[in-house]
Amino acid sequence: MSTEFEIRGLKATIEGKEILKGIDLKIQGGEIHAIMGPNGTGKSTLASALMGHPKYEVTDGEVTLNGEDVLEMEVDERARAGLFLAMQYPSEITGVTNADFLRSAINARRGEGNEISLIKFIRLMEGKMKELEMDPEFMHRYLNEGFSGGEKKRNEILQMMMLEPKLVILDEIDSGLDIDALKIVAAGVNAMRSEERGFLVITHYQRLLNYIKPDFVHVMMQGRIVKSGGPELAERLEAEGYDWVKEELGIVDETVQQA
Amino acid sequence: MSTPTTSFGREAAAALSRSKNEPAWLIAWREEAGELAAKLELPKPEKMPLTRWTLDQYGTDRPSKTVSSAADLPAAIAELLPEDTQGALIVQHNSSVVFTRLSEELKAKGVVLTSLEEAARAHEKLVREHLMTAYKKDEHKLAAVHAALWNGGVFLYVPRNVDIEFPVQALLFADDADATFMPHVLIVADTNSRVSFVEQAAAELNAGEGRTLLHNAAVEIFAKSGAHVRYAAVHHMDAGVVDVSYRRAVLDNDARVEWIVGDLHNGNTLTDTNSVLQGNGSASDSKIICVGTGSQRISLTTRAQHIGKSSESDMVTRAVMKDEATSIINGITKIEHGSTKANGQQTEKVLMLSPKARGDANPILLIDEDDVKAGHAASVGQVNADQVHYLMSRGISRKEAERLIIHGFLDPVVSEIPLAGLREQLHRILERKLG
């Protein structure tokens, strides 16, 4: 079944301040959507609110994944339904190895009585780590503990590859990556492109989109999507910056007004 | 129900020692300790009054039957022995040692493993030179009582340059609430020797509610120049047992001592794990975990006393408090004048799982020398919400996420236990305690 992900009129607040002011977006399986925009316009809030971070309160709107109401679900249910967020700042967890963590995550999806065998799991993990050119020792390291910024990002992509989600959100996956690491991460994402899977790529920079080619590009300002287009929009933003968008729309301050 | 031993003193200590046919020197030594026991006050651990603890029931001498083969040990004891036991083993059951195993190969190298009672006769010189010289019998009432009444016990001597490959294991077990259960472990590791020692203290008081037993125990390690001693201990006794465990190590030049301790006892607990870094270049490393449940009261202290130059210490304590458990976690780094280039580090972390649990972390640095490094970190908190969210965002349920985080919090110590079988057992104890 091809994936259909839809956001309608999504509004969200943090500590009572409205950050998302009505987002509408539809992603079909096989599509890559990019959300671009300067700092402080609500991009990461959108990612976190979709995943259900307790800090954000959704005040209005609907989100559905293949017809199922995402906002009704607990965070773990969203993940099991097929949502995946590669986080900008993944948590470090002492004492829980990468392998134990991923096995728990895979088994949570497969359900009791249908757990993945240890051998099969290790082969799978080793194979994916090789694709991402990760040192095999990261399998037994504590989750993200002492990882460099780039290693954490690769580890997020590793999780995506192992969990095979239906809708992938990449939040600033390019920050902290050098060009070689960026190419490896992009190759990992591209290998996952399929008709069953949609992507929402959040980024500051056009650079990432040279390697992960989007089908649609959206510009976010003031907690809304203010402009949408094809890949050419990203190129123009890279060449000319955001000022022309602001001028065109009569926006003076693009950040979310935190009155 | 044992009756409080109010009349205990010089005469009672000597009479008991005589009745056990102990050597003359030990009878006199016990007599002195008995006198101190009648005079001295209880210790005063930081923020943890001991006045309401049952510390005055010493029990009576209840030796158990010795066996000649591990297969003949009672089932309750056999169950506690990890299957992968290949090395030396000594077992105390209530008031006496019932089984000792040491390979001919190690005996031929001069290694000694016996009950401390036996060593007091057969290795008088070594025992007298070391016994309760690090943990002195006049420190406080509990030390004096221990000196007067210690029984069974372990004596391990590792000769110069001998490296013992498999961990030496001691199982200290009680199932009789009327027994005196006060083991003393004495380890003398001679120059450039190496040994890992694993101690398990367990008690199952079948008599049910209302039974109390005082486990008033001590460990002393003497690591001579260049010796490496790794001491792992797991304590898991019934709630009716009060666990008093004083652990001391004295390190000569370039010696190294590692403490790996699981204080997973179910009753009130007073432990004090102390490394005296006497020698230049000596180093100690202490890793301690603790899980408090029910209405347990727990006082955990780790100490490092730097005397030698360029001595190093690192102390890590991690405690999880549930239900209405209270714990006071003290870390004391003391750097004496003249201990130049010393480096003392410590971390205490407490994870609180219930609003009624209490945990205090007190890092204390006492420094009388300028040319040193010292650091501390302490935290008391709940399970981190961002960590739970991160795990849940991968499909793991909240309950399982919390379980992973709590066990993970303790793993840096659990994973260091040198016997795979005991590590597994520790996981089972943790599952039981953490629910």
Q: What is the pLDDT of residue B312?
A: 98
Query: Is A85 at the interface with chain B, CB within 8 A?
Result: yes
**More confidently predicted of A71 and A205:** A71
- The two structure tokens encoding residue B220: 């002393």
Contact (CB<8Å) A75/B389: yes
DSSP 8-state symbol, B60: B
Q: Which of A78, A89, A92, A104 is the best substitution to test chain B (most B C-beta atoms within 10 A)?
A: A104
Question: In chain A, how many domains are there?
Answer: 1
Contact (CB<8Å) A76/B409: no
Query: Is B139 at the interface with chain A, CB within 8 A?
Result: no
CA B406 to chain centre: 23
Domain that holds residue B417: 384-435
Residue B191 in any domain: the answer is: yes
* The B269-277 sheet, strands edge to edge: B112-114, B154-158, B184-189, B213-223, B241-251, B269-277, B297-306, B326-335, B358-367
pLDDT at B419 over 90: no
pLDDT at B115 over 80: yes
* Residue B308 to residue B254: CA distance in whole angstroms: 10
C-alpha closest to that of A254 among A218, A234, A224: A224
Q: Are residues B275 and B388 in the same domain?
A: no
Helix (H, G, I), strand (E, B) or coil at A231: helix
Query: Is A21 at the interface with chain B, CB within 8 A?
Result: no
Which of B235, B252, B279 is the endpoint of a domain? Answer: B279
- Whether B312 contacts B341, CB under 8 Å: no
Q: Using an 8 Å CB-CB cutoff, list chain B residues near A85.
A: 393
Average pLDDT over residues A25-40: 95
Contact (CB<8Å) B396/A104: yes
Give the pLDDT confidence of B79-110 residue by residue, as tens digits: 998 765 678 999 999 999 999 999 999 999 99
Which residues fall within 8 angstroms of residue B23, CB to CB, at 6 or more apart? B120, B121, B124
Residue A134 in any domain: the answer is: no
For chain B, percent of residues with pLDDT exceeding 70: 97
Which residues fall within 8 angstroms of residue B106, CB to CB, at 6 or more apart? B88, B113, B162, B164
* HSE toward the beta carbon, residue B16, CA cutoff 13 A: 25
C-alpha closest to that of B206 among B182, B179, B176, B180: B176
Helix residue ranges per DSSP H, B123-182:
124-130, 141-149
Give the pLDDT confidence of B172-221 residue by residue, as tens digits: 999 999 999 999 999 999 999 999 999 999 999 875 667 789 999 999 99
Q: pLDDT-based confidence at B1, cuts 50/70/90? A: very low
Q: Are residues B28 and B142 in the same domain?
A: yes
Average pLDDT over residues B225-238: 96
* Residue B329 to residue B359: CA distance in whole angstroms: 7
Residue A100 in any domain: the answer is: no
pLDDT at A259 over 60: no
Which of B250, B279, B308 is the endpoint of a domain? Answer: B279
- The two structure tokens encoding residue B22: 């102990």
Name the residue with tokens 């009576």.
Answer: B60
Q: Are residues B274 and B388 in the same domain?
A: no
Average pLDDT for chain B = 94
Residue B241 in any domain: the answer is: yes
Q: Are residues B258 and B390 in the same domain?
A: no
- Full DSSP string of B177-227: TTB-B--EEEEEE-TT-EEEEEEEEEE--TT-TT--EEEEEEEEEEE-TT-
Which residues fall within 8 angstroms of residue B88, CB to CB, at 6 or more apart? B101, B102, B103, B106, B111, B113, B164, B166, B168, B169
Q: Using an 8 Å CB-CB cutoff, list chain A residues near B405.
A: 93, 95-96
> Scanning every residue of chain B, which has its alpha carbon at the shortest distance from the alpha carbon of A106?
B395
Average pLDDT over residues B311-337: 97
Q: B86 exposed, middle or buried (CB, 10 Å; 0-12, 13-18, 19+)?
A: exposed
Q: What are phi and psi of A235, to 5 degrees?
A: -65, -40
* Residue A209 to residue B157: CA distance in whole angstroms: 68
pLDDT at B3 over 70: no
Contact (CB<8Å) B398/A74: yes
For chain A, percent of residues with pLDDT exceeding 70: 98
* Residue A244 to residue A76: CA distance in whole angstroms: 41
CB atoms within 10 A of CB A215: 15
- Whether A216 contacts A25, CB under 8 Å: no
CA B399 to chain centre: 32
Residue type, A24: D
Residue A113 in any domain: the answer is: no
* HSE toward the beta carbon, residue B176, CA cutoff 13 A: 17
Give the pLDDT confidence of A206-238 residue by residue, as tens digits: 889 999 999 999 999 999 999 999 999 999 998
Q: What is the pLDDT of residue B2?
A: 46
ipTM higher than the 0.85 cut: yes
* Residue B408 to residue A53: CA distance in whole angstroms: 22
- The two structure tokens encoding residue A52: 């259900």
Residue B356 in any domain: the answer is: no
Chain B residues 150-189 within an 8 A CB cutoff of chain A: none
Q: What is the pLDDT of residue B425?
A: 85
* Residue B74 to residue B248: CA distance in whole angstroms: 31
List residues bridging with B221 in a β-sheet.
Answer: B187, B249
Q: Using an 8 Å CB-CB cutoff, list chain A residues near B390.
A: 87, 90-91, 93
* Residue A81 to residue A75: CA distance in whole angstroms: 10
* Residue B336 to residue B414: CA distance in whole angstroms: 32
Helix (H, G, I), strand (E, B) or coil at B249: strand
Domain that holds residue A34: 4-93+149-249
* Domain containing residue A14: CATH number: 3.40.50.300
Chain B residues 392-431 within an 8 A CB cutoff of chain A: 392-398, 400-401, 404-405, 407-412
Q: Are residues B267 and B398 in the same domain?
A: no
Q: What is the CA radius of gyration of chain A?
A: 18
> Scanning every residue of chain A, which has its alpha carbon at the shortest distance from the alpha carbon of B385?
A54
Least confident of A47-56, A93-102, A247-256, B105-114: A247-256
Which residues fall within 8 angstroms of residue A61, CB to CB, at 6 or more apart? A7, A8, A9, A10, A11, A22, A23, A71
Residue B29 in any domain: the answer is: yes
Query: Is A75 at the interface with chain B, CB within 8 A?
Result: yes
Query: Is A54 at the interface with chain B, CB within 8 A?
Result: yes
pLDDT at A91 over 80: yes
Question: In chain B, how many domains are there?
Answer: 2
Q: Which of B394, B396, B409, B410 is the best substitution to test chain A (most A C-beta atoms within 10 A)?
A: B394
Residue B368 in any domain: the answer is: no
Residue B291 in any domain: the answer is: no
